Amino acid sequence: MTNHSFRPAPPAPTSSYAPPAIGPTRPARSARTTDAFTRSVVRALDAGAERLPYRVTHRLQLASQAALAAQTAVLETVEASVFATVNAGSGARAGYDQPSLPWRLLVTLLPLAAIIAGFVAIADIGDALEADETAEIDEAVLTDEVPIAAYADHGFGVFLKNNRP
């Protein structure tokens, strides 16, 4: 049977650090104060760890090794899934064939041809509208429905558009 006697806690290490009061009135700590606090916590933990029995330190060491192994396994799993995702986009999956060259050319050139056809149609429609306006002006001039002073005016086209029958 093991001895489960109560052992009093070792005295706290002496340091000049006093923790600030917790609450909304606590001023923000500077980096230097935070570093000093960190160093004092590390010293206190190191001093306490030196006084721990061997069984406890051995169990802590085993737990630390197990945690590191688990973290390594998680990182390897994440790394493997990232590489699998990257390779999946490149067609490197087993059983996946890339599309044939004619299919890839068709898929690439068909939208390009549609865009070019759209630009040609827009140009043709613009030319047809301009030709219609010119034909209306020529018709008005040939039928002598326009006053003589309108020929010299810069707003001649506007005049004809506003006086359409």
Predicted TM-score (pTM) of the model is 0.32
Q: pLDDT higher for 145 or 55?
A: 55
Tokens at 124, concatenated: 């043709």
Instruction: Say how many C-beta atoms besides its own lie within 10 A of residue 37's C-beta.
Output: 15
Query: Is pLDDT larger for residue 122 or for residue 101?
Result: 122
Residue-wise pLDDT for 21-31, tens only, equals 565 555 556 77
Helices within the chain (DSSP H only): 31-50, 54-89, 101-142, 149-152, 156-162
pLDDT in tens, 26-83: 555 677 788 888 888 888 888 877 788 888 888 888 998 988 888 888 888 888 777 7
Distant-in-sequence, close-in-space partners of 10: CB < 8 Å, separation ≥ 6: 47, 48, 51
Among 157, 151, 120, smallest CA distance to 135 is for: 157
CA atoms within 13 A on the CB side of 49: 11
pLDDT score at 88: 60
Q: State the average pLDDT over residues 89-97.
A: 56
Q: Rounded CA gap, 157 and 151, in Å?
A: 10
Split at pLDDT 50, 70, 90, the class of 116 is very high
Residue-level pLDDT at 115: 96
Domain spans of the chain, in order of start: 99-165
| Amino acid identity for residue 32 in this structure | R
Higher pLDDT, 89 or 128: 128
Query: Which CB contacts under 8 angstroms, 24+ apart, belong to 118-121?
Result: none
pLDDT in the model for residue 1 = 46
